[in-house]
Amino acid sequence: MKSFDSTSEINKIRQQITEQCRQAGSRETGIYRLSVPTGGGKTLASLNFALHHALETGKRRIIYVIPYLSITSQTVATFRNMLGLDADSNIVLEHYSTAGLQNSGNTGSIGTSEEEDVKERQRKLASERWDNPIIVTTMVEFLETVMSARGTKLRKFHNMANSVIIFDEIQSLPLNIINPFNEVVSFLSTILDSTILLCSATQPLLERTARKNLRLSDEPDLIDNTDGYEEKLKRTRIIASQESKSCEELANIIYEQALRNGNCLSIVNTKSEARKMYQCLQELNADGQFELIHLSTAMCGKHRADQLARIKVLTDPHDSKPVICVSTQLIEAGVDLSFACVVRAMAGLDSIMQAAGRCNRNGESKEIKDVYVYPLQGEERFKDYLPEIHRGKKLTLQIMGEHPDADLLSTGMLNEFYGMLLQSEDRDGGNSLLDGPLWKKENAGKTIYELLAYNESQRKQFENNTMGERYNPFFAQAFKTVGNEYRVIPKITHNVVVPYGNAMELLDMLGHGELREKIAILRRLQEYTVSLFDYEYKILNEKHAISIASEDFDICVLNGDYYKGEYGVVTETDMSLLMI
């Protein structure tokens, strides 16, 4: 297995961390944490632990769970490179939710399973069963599998037993599923003999909920002396202000810092803010001196990958070019990029720390580099549909007020932030946000935790319906209700293929050829799709900007006038109307 080039000081530290993780592989089955500062080489270190632990304890496979679909291919490529595997090797399986393409189509009208070749059937079975030695999947796929009542989803659950399951960037776990998640991984470890590894540079305190239901090992941390590594890997400092800035004012700050440092990364909280910030920088004529790059989930995966590859070239320390990138928080986790300066809109302290990890990441500068943080005006309107961002921002401002001289990058401040975050929404005895509240009107007040535990509300309803007769069976879990209702992203989304790169050519090919060829095309089309929220879909549909590309597979395609090279999907063809 490949390791780090140990010529630089940072790579020497990364190698030390990896070696500690390798040695920790001899520990017994349990739930562990890997807390490493950003840029500390978590991916290689966690895989080293998993491989040696699997060898020592006889685990059957390694399941690697990542937070964002946008970094699955990058992670798979990293694993193949580390292990010296070629692209056709079936050692590593990349699997994630394909909602809207393969799953929604009526494949039966085109052909039968007999027409599929052996390789395709094996791939489909592997995705359903997870019986490959290494699985790379997303948190969405993991959570919607363990909460599902559908056989096609649950078919792979038994293969989570006797495995090593790594959760990368565990701080990205949604707040509203923490207690059910704790129960699931504790069950996987204590009953199904799997080892769980929770990885993060900003480790959340999942064990400190009121239910205290995460069964960590007695000595849960793989790395000793994390404070020592924190100091050695310190490459940035936070300069945070409580003074709110308009988009125009923040754009000026970004431009000034880019001029001073040669490049700059700006991270904001929403797609509309990213678009507006980009336009404000254009009005400053920043694009006359810098290449301006925009990144958000309004772009399809291939578009984002191309933008990230372009940034990688422009920020190469051996031949850097002037660049300003404006991004949403998708750039904060699992993206190996390094800028000379970062400007972040105010957010939760965990997000700010992740943003700092994109600055001077590899120690390109021996000087400590600055990460500037400002509240952005006008964000109050987002608090109802982006409550976690609003809550995190509010708590960070509170910490800044109470500790004006504190180092916001310290573990102590992060622990205080998580303690306040959990306390603000956690209530002992149920009905906590952390228990996973259900949103449909008929299930108002019920939570996933309660429905999958004793299910008191449904037992009482049975008594009411039967004039006082008690529900005697021991089990009363509402698996079907939870399976039908739970979605990691509760808002309705619609997947559309966008006219970027080879997308239109692939759509044309979809009308010809054998079924196996069409299924291969569907997989390729996934990187050219964008998920639209319900309101976005309705606006575009009313403008006749969405049409059916394939009735056989229920695939929609976006009109090219509504997909811009700079922004991705837009709801207006006149860009001046998007300056909101």
CB 121 within 8 A of CB 516: no
Other beta carbons within 10 angstroms of residue 406's beta carbon come to 14
Q: Residue 260 has what pLDDT?
A: 97
**Is pLDDT larger for residue 457 or for residue 79?**
79
d(CA 119, CA 135): 18
Residues pairing with 568 in the sheet? 564
Overall average pLDDT of the 124-144 stretch: 83
d(CA 54, CA 367): 41
Strands 92-94 and 546-550: unpaired
User: pLDDT-based confidence at 440, cuts 50/70/90?
Assistant: confident
Domain 235-408 belongs in CATH node 3.40.50.300: yes
Phi and psi (nearest 5°) for 115?
-80, -15
Q: Which of 52-61, 328-337, 456-465 has the lowest mean pLDDT?
A: 456-465
Among 44, 415, 40, smallest CA distance to 234 is for 40
d(CA 331, CA 336): 9
Do 235-408 and 9-231 have the same topology in CATH?
A: yes
d(CA 196, CA 276): 41
**pLDDT, tens only, 227-264:** 677 777 889 999 999 999 999 999 999 999 999 999 99
Phi and psi (nearest 5°) for 38?
-55, 135
**pLDDT, tens only, 346-398:** 999 999 999 999 999 988 898 999 999 999 999 988 777 788 889 999 999 99
Phi and psi (nearest 5°) for 260?
-75, -35
CB 424 within 8 A of CB 395: yes
CATH number for the segment(s) 9-231: 3.40.50.300
Residue 426 to residues 13, 175, 199, 393, Cα–Cα distance (Å): 37, 10, 23, 18
d(CA 57, CA 50): 10
Q: Residue 97 has what pLDDT?
A: 58
When mean pLDDT is compared over 54-68, 126-140, 503-517, the highest value belongs to 54-68
**Is pLDDT larger for residue 157 or for residue 462?**
157
Which residues lie closer than 8 Å to 110 by C-beta, 6 or more apart?
515, 518, 552
Phi and psi (nearest 5°) for 182?
-55, -40
User: pLDDT-based confidence at 424, cuts 50/70/90?
Assistant: confident
d(CA 234, CA 39): 10
Domain boundaries, the chain: 9-231, 235-408, 433-482, 493-578
pLDDT higher than 80, residue 126: no
In which residue are the tokens 């239910």 written? 211
**pLDDT, tens only, 490-515:** 666 789 999 999 999 999 998 887 87
Radius of gyration of the chain (CA): 24
d(CA 309, CA 303): 10
